[in-house]
Structure 1
Amino acid sequence: MSFTLRSDSPKSSRKRSNPVVPVAGSRDLVVDLIRVACMFAVVAVHLLMMGISVDSAGIGVGNPLTSLTWFAQGTWFGQVMPLFFVVGGFASLTSWRSLQRKGGDAGDYLRNRVLRLVRPTVALYAFLTVALWSATAAGVPGDLLTVIAAGAGVQLWFLAAYLICQAMVPTMAKFHGLAPYRTIAALAAGAVVVDGLRLGLEHNPWGLDSNPIGLLNMVFVWGLLQQLGFFYADGFFDRFASWKLVLAAAGCYAAMVPLTHAGPYPVDMLTSQNPPMFPLVLVGLAHVLLVKAAYPVLQRCVQVGWVQKVMFVVGSRAMTIYLWHLPLIIALFGIALVLRLPFPQPASTEWWLSRPLFYIAAWALVLLVSMPLLRLELASTALAAGERRPAMWRIAAGTVLAIIPPFVVMRQALDVTNATWGLVLLVIAVALVTGKVPQRSWRTPQPVGRAEA
């Protein structure tokens, strides 16, 4: 995040009741607010999905949210990842256009995104590799270690999906400029076709796994949501009155009723996430419509000093927070177990009353750990003096290698093996896109007094 200090008047040097707060220059602060709000929601949901029970039979881990009758329907509003891809699309198109104005190309854009996203991920993979090998050597029961490792890697699917979408930005921005509505229609048609094939083969007599077909929607569904962010950046949603935006959002939810309650799609939008399914597009569209309807109110919110400070603290380390929050939540529960703190029955009244304290503790731990890691996220991607940008094939290869480890975790869950080789691939990916110093040409020195021919 790039912030500047705002001076209210020429007499700003005088003592004032309100301190100067960092204010972003030339950017949509409401988008930053939405991204930070999404981060708070993601941490909350992941914390609530981990119900630890301790009894004579041992330690049990479950998801208390699935026992709530309203939870599946509630995901239509609480599933924030589609909105995250929309605002990510806004930021991506804005960055791409800015880079183009400075003479940059697709290679420059992709290199910057790989470095921004992968360098913080290398630190996480290094930690997880050491932790899992150490736990294995210490004799931690295999079943328990499997559950812990899988939980620590749940969030990594996003890195694979987001890197795929980022690789698409230069091409999709071109399509958006040439034929924005046809591009949206093509992505929507692709998503529906993929879902049709996947659902059609779900109960096939040959025993084929239909999920691999659904993986194509990592391009169509997430790409379509990113494309909606392009429309947001162009001011498309600003053309409509608030009541029209709310009515359109209601129409999105109305369309989801027959698709889920009477159709082939699940009601729970979390189960529609990996691989993604078309209703997530409707959820994301409904959310962005409601955001734009409430835009005047949100604009007033982002002018509040403490809100801007929270946005700065969380927004400046968003990737680090996202990557580390689940392993640290697991560590927090581990500390509670070691200290023999009471663990209420998951989903009980006592359990719900204790969640705010765990939530605050989780954020405190995440922010503490993010302090030494922040430099990885904020490190410059600019080429140093004398360096040249790597060839496009190196950038493309680095991007593919960066996608593979989180993609495998998404499909198979994290374990000690894929944490280890995943770390190796991520380090290679960073090395491939890092700038290189041109080789110097050396000449044999001429003998003293001998002129060159």
Structure 2
Amino acid sequence: MSVVPGVAAVSANTPADRDRFLDLVRISSLVVVVVGHCLMLTVTVSGETVHFGNVLADLPALQPITWVLQVLPLFFFAGVAAGARGLGPGVSWGAWLFRRTQRLVRPLGYFLLASAVLVAVADRVLAPGWQRPLAVTSVQLLWFLGMYLAVLACVPLLAATVTSTRRMFAAVAVIAVVTAVVDAVRLNGGPAELGYATVIVWLVPAILGIGYLRALLARRVAAVLACVVLLADVLLVLVGPYEVSLVTVPGQRLSNLAPPSLLLAGHAVVLCCAAVAVAPWARRLAARPRVWWWTVIGNTGAMTLYLWHMPALLSVLVLSHLAGVDRAGPSEPGFWLLTAAQLAATAALTGVLFITLRGLENTPLRGWDGPVAAVRGLRAAATVLAVCAAGIAILQATRWGLTPDGGVWFAGAATALLVARLLTRD
């Protein structure tokens, strides 16, 4: 079980120049995403057929709530802004990237092993129909980690490019134009594979994070831009061809998330600019000792929280099923009461797992952690490519989960990470 320091100890160990705003944004956005997952997942069991669904598909009137719950762009914004502080002149890009990769990936092996064991146990206890939904859903949330690693691999180049307000806005505009063109082609019968190009949308919050770090985005400009782009987003839904839900829902003509759409790009701009506009207020809130304590504890176990809330949620859903109660959909009697009970149970179990396993995230792994060489030239470029390849492989693995097909992609990710580790050894 991890040791949790007290409020006074956390305050005493906080550097005076720490930007508490970024830390508060990072953990708050992660908590909102976790709550969203727990609220939306439904289970329908018919004989030996098991289907994991989404409340938003059964109750479309709730889809606008995703404009509040889809806050992952804020995590990218804050994470990149905090990490890019270490990208000064002469800093090795490869070393910078791998140090962040070390921390992010450290708890992944434990999580995958435990998930595989849980799926194997469930396969013996539950009907056969449960095996594949659990195998896929248990690791589906890793798409975020894969995408985040790929974005981090681009940060050194972005940091070298985004050196003025004009360049910052130009970079965002280029991404928006490319995404709009790809969306138009897809909507008019173009190849679905072309959608992979729009993953560049996740660079938008990274660019704005670097802009925030370098004071390229004034608060008043950010506030105005947030309002203008929000209006444009509303028009894209009311007048244009875009769906209102910012998460993937069955039956959508064009998903806004997988792959990302122009609407998600606009949403990222709105969220990041709004965050910059309220930064002083958020910074004062984070300065309160108790709030800062929660922020620090959360951030030092952020990957633990994000990874382990899904096993906790799936465990609660399975136990509910064994007790004869499934959360099948809003039309079922007592659905919202059951949702509240399951949310409370999931929160409690996630809390136990967080306290118990948070230490794994902060304990160096032999062979994986350790000194990182200041690699340069081709060696640095190879490190960046290896981490990017690992991120893409993890992203692909989430399509198949803990199945043989998914295992091939996870093995590819592990190989790429091993190459990155070997390249950065002293």
* Alignment TM class, shorter chain as reference: 0.7 to 0.9
1:442 counterpart residue number? none
Residue 421 of structure 2 corresponds to residue 434 of structure 1: yes
Alignment of 1:185-334 (within 5 A): 185-204=170-189, 209-210=191-192, 212-219=193-200, 221-237=201-217, 239-241=218-220, 245-271=222-248, 272-334=256-318
Greater alpha carbon shift after TM alignment, 369-378 vs 76-85: 369-378
CA contact (8 A) 1:115 1:433 kept: no
Cα shift at 1:55 = 7.5
- 1:12-62 CA-partner distances (Å, limit 9, x unpaired): xxxxxx962523322221221121211221111111111235678876543
Alpha-carbon distance between aligned partners in 2 of 1:46 and 1:307, rounded to the nearest angstrom: 24
The structure that has the greater radius of gyration is: 1
Residue 380 of structure 2 corresponds to residue 392 of structure 1: yes
1:12 counterpart residue number? none
1:87 counterpart residue number? 78
CA contact (8 A) 1:125 1:422 kept: no
TM-score after normalising by structure 2: 0.83
CA contact (8 A) 2:94 2:424 kept: no
Alignment of 1:402-413 (within 5 A): 402-410=390-398, 412-413=399-400
Structure 1 SS opposite 2:170? helix
Paired residue total? 406
Cα shift at 1:147 = 1.6
CA contact (8 A) 2:148 2:391 kept: no
1:44 counterpart residue number? 35
Residues 240, 134 of structure 1: alpha-carbon distance in 2 compared, 3 angstrom cutoff: closer
* Aligned counterpart in structure 2 of residue 425 of structure 1, from 406, 409, 412: 412
Alpha-carbon distance between aligned partners in 2 of 1:437 and 1:395, rounded to the nearest angstrom: 7
Structure 1 counterpart of 2:30, which letter? M
Residues 201, 35 of structure 1: alpha-carbon distance in 2 compared, 3 angstrom cutoff: closer
* Aligned counterpart in structure 1 of residue 58 of structure 2, from 60, 64, 67: 67
1:27 counterpart residue number? 18
Cα shift at 1:235 = 2.4
- 1:257-292 CA-partner distances (Å, limit 9, x unpaired): 222221122221113111111222221222233333
**How much identity, in percent, do the aligned residues show?**
23
CA contact (8 A) 2:44 2:326 kept: yes
CA contact (8 A) 1:151 1:327 kept: no
2:138 counterpart residue number? 152
CA contact (8 A) 2:39 2:343 kept: no
Alpha-carbon distance between aligned partners in 1 of 2:44 and 2:358, rounded to the nearest angstrom: 34
CA contact (8 A) 1:199 1:264 kept: no
CA contact (8 A) 2:66 2:245 kept: yes
- 1:150-179 CA-partner distances (Å, limit 9, x unpaired): 2212211111211111011111100112x5
Cα shift at 1:423 = 4.3
Alpha-carbon distance between aligned partners in 1 of 2:392 and 2:339, rounded to the nearest angstrom: 35
Structure 1 SS opposite 2:107? helix
CA contact (8 A) 1:159 1:406 kept: yes
The CA RMSD over aligned residues, in Å, is: 3.3
Structure 2 counterpart of 1:104, which letter? V
Residues 388, 162 of structure 1: alpha-carbon distance in 2 compared, 3 angstrom cutoff: closer
1:346 counterpart residue number? 329
1:448 counterpart residue number? none
Residues 302, 197 of structure 1: alpha-carbon distance in 2 compared, 3 angstrom cutoff: closer
Residue 142 of structure 2 corresponds to residue 162 of structure 1: no
Residues 172, 369 of structure 1: alpha-carbon distance in 2 compared, 3 angstrom cutoff: same
Where structure 2 has 5 or more consecutive residues not aligned to the other structure, the ranges are: 249-255
1:447 counterpart residue number? none
CA contact (8 A) 2:180 2:261 kept: yes
Cα shift at 1:199 = 3.2
Cα shift at 1:125 = 2.2
Residues 19, 76 of structure 1: alpha-carbon distance in 2 compared, 3 angstrom cutoff: closer
Cα shift at 1:436 = 8.4
Cα shift at 1:335 = 2.4
CA contact (8 A) 2:329 2:335 kept: yes
TM-score after normalising by structure 1: 0.78
CA contact (8 A) 2:50 2:133 kept: no
Structure 2 SS opposite 1:434? helix
Residues 305, 277 of structure 1: alpha-carbon distance in 2 compared, 3 angstrom cutoff: same
